[in-house]
Amino acid sequence: MALAFRLQKSPMPGFGLGMGITLAMLSLIVILPVGALLARGISYGPEAVWATINTPRVWAALYLSFRLAFLAALVNLVFGTLLAWVLARYDFPGRRLVDALVDLPFALPTAVAGIALTALYAPNGVFGSIVRDLGGKIAYTQWGILIALIFVGLPFVTRTVQPVIAEIEQEVEEASATLGAGRFHTLRRVILPLLLPAALTGFALSLARAVGEYGSVIFIAGNLPMKTEIAPLLIVIKLEEFDYDGAAAIGIAMLLISFAMLLAINLIQIWSRRRIGHV
């Protein structure tokens, strides 16, 4: 049974050239590196890959990385959306400065961010000393890792949601109010459905960035095995020991878990778009 593909015509020429460039870049940047990683795992052997992954230290590092990355993405989903709403809907002194500061984690090298966060939250730092006097500790604990992941992932949510908020006409909210809906009802039934696809995209981007984050975490984490050791650090340790097969095995585990999480988020995003009639 032959399959027929119907291409939607576009007034702009160059479909063949554009598709060729797209596939070439996608192959060089994404498909080939991922394929090389999987090929390394196949040559290593499924049993050997599983034996490398199935150790308490590796499971602890994977659980720590994905758990804190998910929590950081959730925090960024809430506060990044709120920040985007304030920047898009309100005009206040210093708004442009705040808007520029949102992009700071994009431009700041991750190692510099890690050193700065450690200086702030270390026991002798500005914020760390306050927490120390209260009997707590942030740096060199999982709390420090969480703060670093929130820092690097916040702009992804804000910059994804902000244009969508700017496009929502305030007349929609006014119409809802004139029909007797309260503010919470308008937010839940009118605004949030429109923001959900973009918010989920920002959440997925923030999660993906947090899962693979290394530079800003190693300085503030403490890097204690079974406690504050993240999976990317464990891969670097394997590479420094010239255990390339072991590093590839942990990389494959992170790849499969990340793919499953992002696939679930994309399915939810597709469902949300269909619900509001965008697809």
Q: How does the average pLDDT of the chain come out, rounded? A: 86
Q: Over 70: is that where the pLDDT of 65 sits?
A: yes
Q: Tell me the average pLDDT across 127-149.
A: 92
Superfamily of domain covering 41-276? MetI-like (1.10.3720.10)
Q: What is the 3-state composition of the chain as percent helix, strand, coil, each rounded to the nearest 5? A: 75, 0, 25
Domain ranges of the chain: 41-276
Give pLDDT tens digits for 204-261.
Answer: 999 999 998 998 999 999 888 999 999 999 999 999 999 999 999 999 999 999 999 8
Burial class (CB in 10 A: 0-12, 13-18, 19+), 229: buried
